[in-house]
Structure 1
Amino acid sequence: MRHSLLSKFQGTILGAVLGDSIGLQYQRQLLGIPPQTEDLQPILQLTKHQQLTVSGATLALNSVKSKMPTGKDSSESGRLAVACAQSLIRCSGLDLKDWRATWEAFAKSEIYHRPSSEFQTLLHPGEAAVAALPAAMFFHENKAKLREKIMLAIEVWPNENKPEWETAILAVGYVIARALKERLDPATAIEQTLAYLKTDNALTELLLQVQILLEKGADLETAATHLCKSATALREKQGEGEKKLQTESIVNPGNFIPIALAFYCFLNTPEDLRLSVVRAARCGIAGQITCALTGALSGAYNGVAAIPVEWRQVSSPGVTSLPLAEGPEPSVWETRSDAKIVELANNLFAVWAGVYRPDATQDSAALARAVAAPYVIRPRNI
């Protein structure tokens, strides 16, 4: 393997976390808020395309009507991802009772306080894909098991548009799984993903458009504009179908654009995590979700060594974040440091590998970790 599986576990979670952070910094720049640190200044220079995006002449995904998460709301998916990873570690796998309790505690917490809307769906497709990253990592070794476990896991999360919503999560999860197993070929990644999904909806159509854009060598601005126009066309086509059927659909193809852009940014420069995430930020579309997904995909493919050191320094506990309009933004998905995220990835990997006590440290009496055979070695009840 080019990179160890542990490195890929670390790269997936840390890539998503730091991608979220970079996306937030760029989003602040779009909103006219000064950058958190001078280290990110070169990343945050607005392009001509971004000026058009801000003025609303090109894209409107960050508007209220779009239902896309912006600001600090979009980090809630990261906090849920951390909680889900902790559940997998705590229960040595997917325990639906604990998984449901984790969701209920999260939904009732002060952190998650999204106002009720016309939709009962609490997670947008991109958010759900980020939150499901730990499950995709934990069950990556078998694609049938991956589908089964992810379907069970996300059944707990409320959603009203189940087919499209699940397609988004499975698409990202499948690519993550292929990357962890060193079986991901960027040239055929979308083709393999569509074959795995075995469905036809707005997301699969956008992914087909991504494949065409990659084959044509389209630049970032062209890709972003084309995907937004495609989503608009799909929405209009969907609207015509609704009139004929006299039904009302809650599907908004625009909600899948961050996932499509993440695929484009990663697959266009698969060997360069920094460039992939920076280009995802420059799209200016749901920055945190787009960058988090791009960072996760590239981190799973390239390992933790591909993450720039300076980005990890920005997320250190000594760096305080500037307040947004709604209040201060907690750093690094409520863990306060990238070291905690790496520790979380280490423990998730340890449980997946069958380690008896993944929480044992150098200061612990158990200096050597023991690997347990399935259903044989279990902690003693004292």
Structure 2
Amino acid sequence: MRHSLLSKFQGTILGAVLGDSTGLQYQRQLVGISPQTEGWQPILQLTKHQQLTLNGQTLLNSPNTKILTGTHSSECGRLAVAWTQSLIRCMGLDLKDWGDTWEVFVKSEIYPPESTEFQSVLNPCEAAVAALPCAMFFHENKAKLREKIMLATDVFPNENKSELQTAVLAIGYAIARSLKQRLDPSTAIDQTIAYLNTDNALTELLLQVQILLEQKADLETATTHLCKSVTALPEKQGDGDKRAQTNSTVNQGNLLPIALAFYCFLNTAEDLRLSVMRAARCGIAGQLTCALTGALSGAYNGAAAIPVEWRQLSSAAVESRRLAAGGEPSLWGIGSDAKIVELANNLFAVWAGVYNPSAGMNSEALARAVAAPYVIRPRKI
């Protein structure tokens, strides 16, 4: 194996968390908010950002993209952490515990009083980020992956739940293929569409992504084309579908970050840094787009592909927020990249059947090597 499965577990979660943080820093810079740490400046100012328009509005300010720039900016990431903790605590998916976790989560102090919309509805991209631990835990069997995701996402209130579940399955299947070392960037879109086995707005966007990749389209061309495709999709649908889109928060604009994440990842599959930075430069729902791109690339390339300076800068941002009046830890509420790695390690240990909740951080079990069968042999004493 090119990367150990443990490294891929770590890379998926770390990639999503640090992608979210990178997207937030870039968004804040675009709207004129100073970055939390000066170290982000040379990373983010690679090229001049060009704002795109969708339905006459800048995507940066479009309500459909749900740009989040406040201290409560990563609700779906915090939900992913809660979901991971539920999987670890129950040694698998316990629907009762997961339902209780969801109820407690939406009533927690994480949400300010005005954020009632998120408590009732998740859009597809938010659900895809939240469901990352489920995709990781059930990656080895695509039938079980579909079954568990469908069951687990039933707790999410949404009028277009089938479309939301399709989005979660698309990201989850790509993650699962990477974890099993079976994802080929040249055929990933075709295989994902075949797995989804449906025809909706997301599959239409994924087909457009495949065309753009085959044409070797640059970032600006790809982003503009996908935005135009989003505006054209309702015109291709019947009146019944139009009505559904009008009355639901699940619409084509909410699916755009998933399409962009697939494009940014598959276009530079071997370079996580470049994939995430290009996702940030799209300027469209930066946190979600970057988190999904980071998760896809992290699962494919492992934790070693994540730039060390990103982890250092994120830790510095966490510390600066803690010192600020009324501040709170960022990084999905965990507080440090080391704790994120520990969370990924525990999830992997539960999946492997070797998790010991009573073991301390200095346990010898944490230092054992993880390798493919018959590759590493025990030493003879």
Question: TM-score normalised by the shorter chain: which range applies?
Answer: 0.7 to 0.9
Instruction: Between 258-267 and 328-337, report the one with greater CA deviation.
Output: 328-337
- Residue 70 of structure 1 is matched in structure 2 by 68
- Residue 212 of structure 2 is matched in structure 1 by 213
Instruction: Between 119-128 and 306-315, report the one with greater CA deviation.
Output: 119-128
The Cα shift of 1:40 comes to 1.7
Structure 1 Cα separation of the partners of residues 57 and 306 of structure 2: 29
The Cα shift of 1:116 comes to 3.6
Structure 2 Cα separation of the partners of residues 174 and 297 of structure 1: 10
Structure 1 residue identity aligned to 2:303: V
The Cα shift of 1:171 comes to 0.1
Q: 1:167 to 1:24 in 2, by over 3 A?
A: same
Structure 2 residue identity aligned to 1:11: G
Structure 2 Cα separation of the partners of residues 67 and 276 of structure 1: 20
- Residue 151 of structure 1 is matched in structure 2 by 150
Structure 1 Cα separation of the partners of residues 211 and 205 of structure 2: 10
- Listed one character per residue, the Cα deviations across residues 128-167 of structure 1 (whole Å, up to 9, x for unaligned) are 0000000000000000000001111111111110111111
Q: 1:120 to 1:317 in 2, by over 3 A?
A: closer
Q: 1:329 to 1:31 in 2, by over 3 A?
A: farther
Question: Alignment RMSD, CA only?
Answer: 2.7
- Residue 34 of structure 1 is matched in structure 2 by 34
Instruction: Give the structure-2-normalised TM-score.
Output: 0.88
Contact conserved, 1:235 with 1:252, CA < 8 A, in 2? no
The Cα shift of 1:58 comes to 7.8
Structure 1 Cα separation of the partners of residues 141 and 214 of structure 2: 29
Query: 1:1-382 residue pairs with structure 2 within 5 A?
Result: 1-45=1-45, 47-48=47-48, 50-53=49-52, 60-63=58-61, 65-66=63-64, 68-72=66-70, 73-113=72-112, 115-117=115-117, 121-238=120-237, 241-242=239-240, 248-250=246-248, 251-316=250-315, 319-321=318-320, 328=327, 330-358=329-357, 360-361=359-360, 363=362
Structure 1 residue runs of 5 or longer lacking an equivalent are 370-382
Structure 2 residue identity aligned to 1:30: L
The alignment partner of 1:315 has SS state of: helix
Contact conserved, 2:346 with 2:355, CA < 8 A, in 1? no
Q: 1:234 to 1:367 in 2, by over 3 A?
A: closer
Structure 2 residue runs of 5 or longer lacking an equivalent are 369-381
The Cα shift of 1:59 comes to 5.9
- Listed one character per residue, the Cα deviations across residues 166-203 of structure 1 (whole Å, up to 9, x for unaligned) are 11000000000000000000000000000000001111
- Aligned-pair identity in percent equals 73
How many pairs align? 363
Structure 1 residue identity aligned to 2:24: L
Structure 2 Cα separation of the partners of residues 36 and 64 of structure 1: 24
The alignment partner of 2:315 has SS state of: coil
Structure 2 residue identity aligned to 1:62: L
Structure 2 residue identity aligned to 1:275: L
